[in-house]
Structure 1
């Protein structure tokens, strides 16, 4: 199963449409996960043309988005338990907040956003993945999104583009 990961699209503030590089990847996705800060339901409508879309709301999302998406989500794919949480909150680092969000659950993978900083790393037995942002790279040299391949193993990568 191929899962495309994105977050922090901030449409229309950071652009009117999703980048072609991301949309091209979505054409071959079995699932798309958005880790919050959509800023517009148009992002959901665009992504859902390619595959099923799961996601959570972020700190800048409207009431419309908050009514449609939960703050935190968990599901199982190919035997792997995946948690999704944007990562916003007060105090601590984004990484510590997402780990705390799932401290009562045993998850294999946590997909999060908020910082716009791409990350793939393990904390104990949990894989943390922040796909960065395809629209707002902040001080980084490239935009980014992530890909998860789930079979009987986990393969993950961050795709960087300009």
Structure 2
């Protein structure tokens, strides 16, 4: 099962459209995760129309329309791997212990907010993944997203994809 992970798309504030390389991954993905800060409902509509399965949450920049359609925390079990999705996890210091305490039944927690890619594992075994942002790199060298594979109860092939700089529009 192939996964596509994204967060913090901030459309149309930071970019006008989702980047083509990431959009090209959608047909190959069995499940798409979005960890909040969509900003516009059009992006949600687009992903709902194109994805086989979408697991998403709202973020701190999402207004009432998105909050009415999305939860603050979402859960999915895929091939025996238990996932959670949330936008914010707090400060990076102590993140692993804090998230492991808050989400004891999960194997993987997908989160966003910082626009900083993150891939660590808590002492409890909880894997924490932040795909960064495909549209707003902030202080990062690249805009990013992640892909991964789930099979036989294992998360494998987690890959951070760097996107080329956007051409001015």
Q: Does TM, scored on the shorter chain, surpass 0.5?
A: yes
Over the residues paired in the alignment, what is the CA RMSD in angstroms? 2.0
Secondary structure of the residue that 1:49 maps to in structure 2? helix
> What is the TM-score with the length of structure 1 in the denominator?
0.91
Which residue does 1:29 correspond to in 2? 29
C-alpha separation between the residues in 2 aligned to 1:27 and 1:102?
35
Where does 1:1-162 land on structure 2 (aligned, <5 Å)?
A: 1-51=1-51, 52-87=53-88, 92-93=91-92, 96=95, 99-100=98-99, 103-124=102-123, 125-152=125-152, 153-155=154-156, 156-162=158-164
How far off is 1:103 after superposition? Answer: 2.0
Please state how far the C-alpha of 1:120 moved relative to its aligned partner: 1.2
Unmatched runs of 5 consecutive residues or more in structure 2: 165-169
Note if contact 2:100-2:122 (Cα within 8 Å) is conserved in structure 1.
no
Question: What TM-score does the superposition give when structure 2 sets the normalisation length?
Answer: 0.87
| Count of residues paired in the alignment | 160
- Work out whether residues 131 and 160 of structure 2, in 8 Å CA contact, stay in contact via their aligned partners in 1: yes
Q: Is the 8 A contact 1:109 1:126 kept in 2?
A: yes
1: CA distance between counterparts of 2:132 and 2:112? 6
* Cα pair distance change 1:141/1:30, threshold 3 Å: same
* Secondary structure of 2:10's aligned partner: coil
Number of the residue aligned with 2:167: none
Q: Which runs of 5+ in 1 are unaligned?
A: none
Deviation at 1:121, TM superposition (A): 1.4
Misfit runs of 4+, over 6 Å: none
Q: Provide closer, same or farther for how the CA distance between residues 30 and 16 of structure 1 changes in structure 2, counting only shifts above 3 A.
A: same
Q: Which moved more, 1:32-41 or 1:79-88?
A: 79-88
Shift in Å, 1:161: 1.5
User: Would you say the 8 A contact 2:4–2:147 is kept in 1?
Assistant: yes
